[in-house]
Amino acid sequence: MMFLANLVPMPPLASQHGQDVDRLINYLHWLMLVLFIGWGAYFIYVLFRFRQTKTPKANHLGAQTNAPKVLELVVAGIETLLLLAFALPMWAKLTDPKNIPSGQAATQVRVTAEQFQWNFRYPGPDGVFGRQDISLVSPSNPLGYDESDPAAKDDITPPMGEMHVPVGKPVVVRLTSKDVIHSFKVVAFRTTQDAIPGVPATFQFTPTRVGRYMITCAQLCGNGHAKMAGYVVVDTEEDYKKWLAERSKAGVATSFE
Ligand SMILES: [Cu+2]
């Protein structure tokens, strides 16, 4: 396993679950190597086995056994089993709201993608996000925040393009989009999640290393797509608190001024 990782090094890793992703990528590459060698060897065998001198006349009827059909059914059966017994239950468990840390157990962030920027919103000390309403959307309030909602009073909207999180604590991202489909991708965290207007998606990761990591948009979303970068800054607990305190002093509407 090490051999492949050394040959084609993975990008730096900065999240807890990322090891599993890397391990899966490694397994898949070994599997592909086995398939490549297997099919390559079979191809050479067939070239030799059905050479012209041995079989001068082609047999247009092909295989006369049931083996290929049976094999196809077995493969389809195994794939159905993998999907129903493993993939779907695993996905259901991962996305079950019961398994998403709530309140102070995680850093809660709302991320709203737009052409070609990333908006962030934190719930503030009360841990509750203020209301958002489509009827409040206006040029000065493009995301429809209801600032009269008591829960919104302490909400924090940092300047666009950069979000901060403390190291070692789960981060729960509630992701949506203001206009078209975007995708929140941070390679170092091994996370990719589509941002679909009207269909909020929740996902989580736990950053393991202090640093500044680029968010790239992973869905072609318009002519500014390539420049749609943002940053996740992973701070020490102390630096994060300092940043949050500065943000809440700066007020709520900083990002649209
Ligand atoms: Cu985008």
pLDDT band, very low/low/confident/very high, at 5 (cuts 50, 70, 90): low
If you measure from the C-alpha of residue 227 to the centroid of ligand 1, how many angstroms do you get, rounded to a whole number?
9
ipTM over 0.95: no
If you measure from the C-alpha of residue 66 to the centroid of ligand 1, how many angstroms do you get, rounded to a whole number?
50
Domain final residue, candidates 46, 71, 98: 98
Q: How many domains does the chain have?
A: 2
Is 161 inside a domain boundary? yes
**pLDDT tens, residue by residue, 207-237:** 999 999 999 999 999 999 999 999 999 999 9
pLDDT score at 103: 81
Burial of 109: CB neighbours in 10 Å, binned 0-12, 13-18, 19+: buried
**pLDDT tens, residue by residue, 41-61:** 999 999 999 898 888 888 788
Neighbouring C-beta atoms of residue 15, cutoff 10 Å: 22
Is 8 inside a domain boundary? yes
Sign of CA dihedral 117, 133, 101, 168: positive
Partners of residue 199 on adjacent β-strands: 196
CATH number of the domain that residue 16 is part of: 1.10.287
Is 31 inside a domain boundary? yes
If you measure from the C-alpha of residue 256 to the centroid of ligand 1, how many angstroms do you get, rounded to a whole number?
19
| Beta carbons of 168 and 206 less than 8 angstroms apart | yes
Question: Sheet containing 171-177: which strands, arranged edge to edge?
Answer: 117-121, 107-114, 171-177, 201-205
pLDDT score at 84: 97
If you measure from the C-alpha of residue 1 to the centroid of ligand 1, how many angstroms do you get, rounded to a whole number?
35
Is 14 inside a domain boundary? yes
Kind and range of the H or E run holding 38: helix 18-49
If you measure from the C-alpha of residue 120 to the centroid of ligand 1, how many angstroms do you get, rounded to a whole number?
15
If you measure from the C-alpha of residue 108 to the centroid of ligand 1, how many angstroms do you get, rounded to a whole number?
22
| Beta carbons of 220 and 146 less than 8 angstroms apart | no
Domain final residue, candidates 71, 98, 125: 98
Cα atoms found within 13 Å of the Cα of residue 217, Cβ hemisphere only? 29
If you measure from the C-alpha of residue 170 to the centroid of ligand 1, how many angstroms do you get, rounded to a whole number?
25
If you measure from the C-alpha of residue 115 to the centroid of ligand 1, how many angstroms do you get, rounded to a whole number?
6
Q: Which amino acid is at 169?
A: K
pLDDT score at 137: 85
If you measure from the C-alpha of residue 226 to the centroid of ligand 1, how many angstroms do you get, rounded to a whole number?
8
pLDDT score at 87: 95
Distances (CA, A) of 256 to 138, 140, 159: 12, 7, 8
Burial of 134: CB neighbours in 10 Å, binned 0-12, 13-18, 19+: exposed
If you measure from the C-alpha of residue 208 to the centroid of ligand 1, how many angstroms do you get, rounded to a whole number?
26
If you measure from the C-alpha of residue 181 to the centroid of ligand 1, how many angstroms do you get, rounded to a whole number?
7
**pLDDT tens, residue by residue, 84-104:** 999 999 989 888 888 888 888
If you measure from the C-alpha of residue 184 to the centroid of ligand 1, how many angstroms do you get, rounded to a whole number?
8
If you measure from the C-alpha of residue 185 to the centroid of ligand 1, how many angstroms do you get, rounded to a whole number?
10
Is 16 inside a domain boundary? yes
Note whether 228 and 155 are same-domain residues: yes
Partners of residue 110 on adjacent β-strands: 121, 174
Domain containing residue 131: 103-252
| Listed residue (216, 107, 215, 106) closest to 156, CA to CA | 107
If you measure from the C-alpha of residue 245 to the centroid of ligand 1, how many angstroms do you get, rounded to a whole number?
30
Please give the mean pLDDT across all residues of the chain: 89
Domain final residue, candidates 98, 125, 156: 98
